[in-house]
Amino acid sequence: MKVFFDLIGCRLNQAEIEQYAAQFRSQGHEITGSRENADLIIINTCAVTAAAASDSREKIRIAGNNKKAQIIVTGCWSDMDSETAAALPGVVKIIPNQKKDFLPSIILGISPELFDLEPIKREPLPGVHARTRAFIKVQDGCDNFCTFCVTRLVRGKARSVSFEEILQRIQSVQLADGKEIVLTGVNLGAWGLDLNPRTDLTGLLKRILMETDIPRIRLSSLETWNLTEDFVRLWENPRLCPHFHIPLQSGSESVLKRMARRTRLSDFRELVRQARYLDPAFAITTDVIVGFPGETEQEFQQTLDFIREINFSGGHVFPFSSRPGTAAARMDGKITGRIVKERSRILRDEFLKQKDRFYQSFVGETMRVLWENSSVYENNNWELHGMTGNYLTIKSHFPKRLQNEISEVKIEHYDGKSLTGLIL
């Protein structure tokens, strides 16, 4: 059977479909990069914003053009609106989030224990979702109550993947000579708090460093709470990628209070300070919500001031999206679209300036780059695209195709999007 995977949304969704693909392969099925040639299409949906929900529906409609394929849908949007998802053409089954870890077993009608006998060699997905870096799901769900967030409602309570299962997934990457893993979860910092004996993310990283030899270990996203005092000191080990993505959401204490965020700006500052003290090249990226109900001009200015104070290496700006079932959806003080659009523009411009400064600061430096993909360029050269440990995108030209390899690169130029360098 030919199986095509598609997704909308976060790195956790990417990690899940990579795991599904490995399990289907282990049972003799072919993973295809073409939905038109597929016998089975599996779509992992997202509901974090209204746009993500709309994109999820569109993915399913496009898949329905393949009249011979069966369509299986899972993920946050189909969990929220299962009746609408089930009614779309071609959809034969909805797998709820509470059962999605067992999706291949449910579809194939086999025991999930069959997948646990030994590590399954990890192979990148074909097509647009191909990644050299392997996304490893270590945690799901969340016990926080952010008023804007629908993910907690559809993903459920925080729960950790056991270290033994995480180790097996990393071994699958090592079997394929993988160079980088990205640990993913809804709330990574909550890993281990529900296990017996209780442990934490610091303990997980220590064990991965001790019990594997994967060259690069990256965290997908990180909140400022539940971190131990010695957490940042782990990055003295060069195998840990010097990049934190820390969702800020707002730089105004009063807005954070309405969001019911556990983030304190003082804790945010301190985490960034520790990271940059350890390594001045440490990349700090973030997410910010614009136009949260009741956001005043003063509160917006506080957010802009805080962003300028931290001086991020990049950031994503999300206009507030009212999600069904959340407390924020019932709040008064909705901000008009014109104001949200202008505030979003201001923050995006600021983040772009900060990214430009960060990238430009590495011109002339020599950096280690993991090559992710390549294409034929000219004069028998390949154009290579890769990433540094601190999340800089790099281009280079080379007579040999390099993929899933790490090279020393002398950075020569920044073109406004990525750095260009010479492979040494």
Per-residue pLDDT tens over the stretch 339-395: 999 999 999 999 999 999 999 999 999 999 999 988 887 777 899 999 999 999 999
Q: Which of the 8 DSSP states describes residue 232?
A: G
3-class SS of residue 231: coil
Domain with CATH 2.40.50 in the chain: 366-423
Residues 6+ apart with CB under 8 A from 357: 311
Backbone angles phi, psi at 264, to 5 degrees: -115, 135
Q: Which of the 8 DSSP states describes residue 356?
A: H
Residues 6+ apart with CB under 8 A from 250: 256, 259, 261, 288, 289, 292, 295, 299, 303
> Is 248 or 50 the better-scoring residue by pLDDT?
248
Q: Domain 366-423: which topology?
A: OB fold (Dihydrolipoamide Acetyltransferase, E2P) (2.40.50)
What pLDDT score was predicted for residue 415? 95
User: How far is it, in rounded angstroms, from Cα 206 to Cα 305?
Assistant: 36
User: How far is it, in rounded angstroms, from Cα 304 to Cα 216?
Assistant: 33
Lowest mean pLDDT among 180-184, 253-257, 328-332, 399-403: 399-403
Highest mean pLDDT among 130-139, 173-182, 405-414: 405-414
The pTM score is 0.90
Judge if the upstream peptide bond of residue 197 is cis by omega within 30 degrees of 0. yes
Q: What sign does the CA torsion over 153, 221, 23, 209 have?
A: negative
Q: Is the pLDDT of residue 130 over 80?
A: no
As a whole number, mean pLDDT of residues 273-287 equals: 97
Sheet of strand 40-45, all strands in order from the earlier edge strand to the far edge: 30-31, 2-7, 40-45, 70-75, 91-95
What pLDDT score was predicted for residue 249? 98
What pLDDT score was predicted for residue 11? 83
User: How far is it, in rounded angstroms, from Cα 244 to Cα 59?
Assistant: 31
Q: Is the pLDDT of residue 164 over 80?
A: yes
> Is 301 or 131 the better-scoring residue by pLDDT?
301
Q: Is the pLDDT of residue 128 over 60?
A: no
User: How far is it, in rounded angstroms, from Cα 108 to Cα 24?
Assistant: 9
Q: Tell me what the pLDDT averaged over the chain comes to.
A: 93
User: How far is it, in rounded angstroms, from Cα 353 to Cα 312?
Assistant: 10
> Is 113 or 144 the better-scoring residue by pLDDT?
144
Q: Residue 244 in contact with residue 201, Cβ under 8 Å? A: no
Q: Render pLDDT for 54-112 as a digit per residue (tens, 0 to 9).
A: 999 999 999 999 999 999 999 999 999 999 999 999 999 999 998 999 999 999 998 87
Strand partners, 409: 367, 423
As a whole number, mean pLDDT of residues 241-264 equals: 97
Q: Which of 68, 168, 58 is nearest to 112 (CA)?
A: 168
Domain with CATH 3.40.50.360 in the chain: 1-118
The yes/no answer on whether domain 1-118 falls in CATH 1.20.1090.10 is no
What pLDDT score was predicted for residue 375? 84
Q: Render pLDDT for 191-226 as a digit per residue (tens, 0 to 9).
A: 999 999 999 999 999 999 999 999 999 999 999 998
Q: Render pLDDT for 4-24 as a digit per residue (tens, 0 to 9).
A: 999 987 888 888 988 899 889
> Is 229 or 136 the better-scoring residue by pLDDT?
136
